[in-house]
Every structure is written in C-alpha cells, then in structure tokens.
Amino acid sequence: MVDFFAFFDLERKFHIDEAELKKRYFQKSKEFHPDFFQNDPDKYDEALELSSINNTGYKTLKSFDGRLKYILELEGFLSGNQELPQSFLMEMMDVNEAIMELQMGELNDAGESVLLEVKNRESQLESRNKRLSKQFDEESDKETRKDILNQLKENYLKQKYVLRMKENIDKFASF
C-alpha cells in the first residue's frame, strides 16, 4: 500500500493543512504529467503511475473521512475483526425495528422521528471521531496512539452501520 502521507511529504495526522495538500497535489500534477515524457516510454510509464498515485492520494486525503479510513487501513486496523460491540447493536435494535416497520408501511408519521434518531447518533459519532482524532494527532506515546486508533476503528464501524440505517430510511420513507 502506498503511503500517501509520505508521497506528499506530510505528517501522518488526521487534521492536516488541506490547502498545503492541495498545493503539493498541483505541484506533483505538473511534475508527473505524462505529456512531458511522451518521447521516453520508460519515463512515460513511470509518470503515468506517479500521476495515478498523486490523483488517488489527493482524493483519499482531501477529506477528514477519507483520512480516517485511510489511516485505519495504513495502521492495519481495518483488516481482520470488524465486528461491532453487542451493546451498540442492542441499542440500535429499536431503531432497526422502526425502520423495518417503515419498510412495511406500518409507521405512518414516525419516519421523521426515526430519521432524527439516526441523525443524532450520526452526529454523536462524528463528534467523537473529531475528539479522538485530535487526541491522536497530539499524542506521542505509541501505545496510547494504538488505543486511540482502536477507539476510532470501533467508532468508524458504528458510523458505517448508522449510515446504512440512514440510507434504508431514505429508501423507504416518504415524508
């Protein structure tokens, strides 16, 4: 896996200077543009590859959510066990049941309250991600950083779950 932070010569952090990232992206876009190497097949192929890395890296790092997922992948936290805590799934059971009732048309006016519940949960998870990611960026102790990444992983997986719930509501609710 290519380390996009190293590619752009940026510190591996969740909160980066996005303007600096954009500046480096444009610099590398000019530097690696394949049109400059059309007369040299080897350099042309290399420029194509570096240009692709540049584009993918920028797309990945330009948003907080992209950096969150990417850092978790880079650090090996999204490989292996990706189970959600049972306590979280139990908390979501009532919301899931309400979504199923919406799908079957049994909840006439309750769709907005279910959507509000999901949006509130989503907002709480986003706030927690921001808080934890700032702690990670400021922390130097390796074990503490690992613990924070574990918490971010769990929160990230919860966010994905809540997003799927929100998509289900949007799909079946008409209010």
Mean pLDDT of 130-146: 97
Burial of 105-127, coded b for 16+ CB within 10 Å and e otherwise, reads eebeeebeebbebbeebbeebee
- Indicate the range of 5-19, 109-123, 154-168 predicted with least confidence: 109-123
User: Which candidate, 4, 1, 22, places its Cα nearest to that of 13?
Assistant: 4
Distances (CA, A) of 127 to 74, 81, 132, 155: 23, 24, 9, 10
Q: What is the mean pLDDT of the chain?
A: 91
Whether the predicted pLDDT of 110 surpasses 80: no
What residue has token string 């979504």?
99
- In this prediction the pTM is 0.87
* pLDDT for the residue numbered 21: 98
